[in-house]
């Protein structure tokens, strides 16, 4: 059974309140990210005929792992995710489904044949990563939130996104692929160039000077 509108609103309130309470810890994965992913996931779920209520709920809780531990996987948010879903009155089978869906849609886990619900959530989250404004406005916030360096982020992005991009499932929705693949390609090439630039000793000295 899909979550009711009342249950989804309770999940939304809990996640929003947590994002507000811990806003300083979530400069990248805060409510601005959650609400963007939720809105686009609903759009993509409507387009692919999957369960919109399930996808919306999963989108709301997909990144609560960052409240549990910095630089963590989606699976590390399992306990908090289940607490939020249970408090909203979502029964165990539906909570199990939503939790599994979040893991299935995660960039590091996904493959060509994930479920339609996972496709909708993945496309929404992936789009946030591929937005042309993300590396300009938000990348430094990801570094600060997760306590990592530029090289580690560049390695993560290229390592996780290369195969989906090259094998044609970076976006699952044909409409999303048509609209956003140009952005994704440019973003991935930017991060490949960043990786290359970090091997230049002059660039390394520049970054050291800027950081000091």
CA distance 108 to 152: 15
Please give the helix or strand (H or E) that residue 141 lies within, else none: helix 139-146
CB–CB of 34/59 below 8 Å?
yes
What number of CA atoms fall less than 13 Å from residue 86's CA on the CB side? 8
CB–CB of 209/159 below 8 Å?
no
The pLDDT of residue 114 is 98
CA distance 43 to 199: 41
- State the CB neighbour count (10 A cutoff) for residue 33: 22
CB–CB of 154/194 below 8 Å?
yes
| Residue in the structure block whose two tokens are 């369960």 | 51
Which of 164, 158, 159 lies closest to 181, judged by CA? 164
CB–CB of 119/44 below 8 Å?
yes
**Domain limits at 118?**
5-211
**Per residue of the chain (212 residues), what is the pLDDT tens digit?**
799 999 999 999 999 999 999 999 999 999 999 999 999 999 999 999 999 999 999 999 999 999 999 999 999 999 999 999 999 999 999 999 999 999 999 999 999 999 999 999 999 999 999 999 999 999 999 999 999 999 999 999 999 999 999 999 999 999 999 999 999 999 999 999 999 999 999 999 999 999 87
The pLDDT of residue 212 is 76
The pLDDT of residue 211 is 83
- pTM comes to 0.96
CB–CB of 124/179 below 8 Å?
no
The pLDDT of residue 1 is 78
Total of domains in the chain: 1
CATH code for position 46: 1.10.3210.10
The pLDDT of residue 119 is 98
CB–CB of 119/32 below 8 Å?
no
């Amino acid at each position: 059974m899909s979550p009711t509108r009342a249950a989804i609103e309770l999940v939304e309130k809990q996640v929003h309140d947590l994002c507000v309470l811990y806003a300083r810890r979530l400069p990248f994965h805060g409510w601005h990210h959650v609400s963007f992913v939720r809105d686009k996931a609903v759009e993509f779920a409507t387009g692919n005929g999957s369960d919109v209520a399930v996808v919306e709920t999963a989108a709301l809780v997909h990144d609560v792992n960052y409240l549990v531990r910095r630089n963590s996987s989606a699976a590390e948010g399992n306990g908090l995710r289940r607490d939020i879903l249970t408090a909203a009155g979502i029964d165990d089978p539906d909570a199990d489904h939503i939790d599994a869906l979040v893991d299935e849609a995660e960039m590091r886990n996904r493959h060509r044949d994930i479920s339609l619900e996972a496709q909708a959530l993945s496309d929404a989250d992936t789009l946030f990563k591929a937005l042309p404004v993300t590396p300009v406005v938000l990348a430094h916030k990801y570094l600060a939130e997760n306590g990592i360096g530029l090289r580690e982020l560049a390695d993560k992005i290229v390592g996780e996104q290369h195969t989906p991009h090259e094998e044609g499932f970076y976006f699952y929705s044909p409409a999303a692929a048509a609209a956003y693949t140009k952005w994704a390609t440019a973003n991935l090439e930017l991060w490949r160039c960043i990786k290359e630039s970090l091997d230049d000793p002059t660039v390394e000295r520049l970054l050291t000077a800027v950081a000091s």
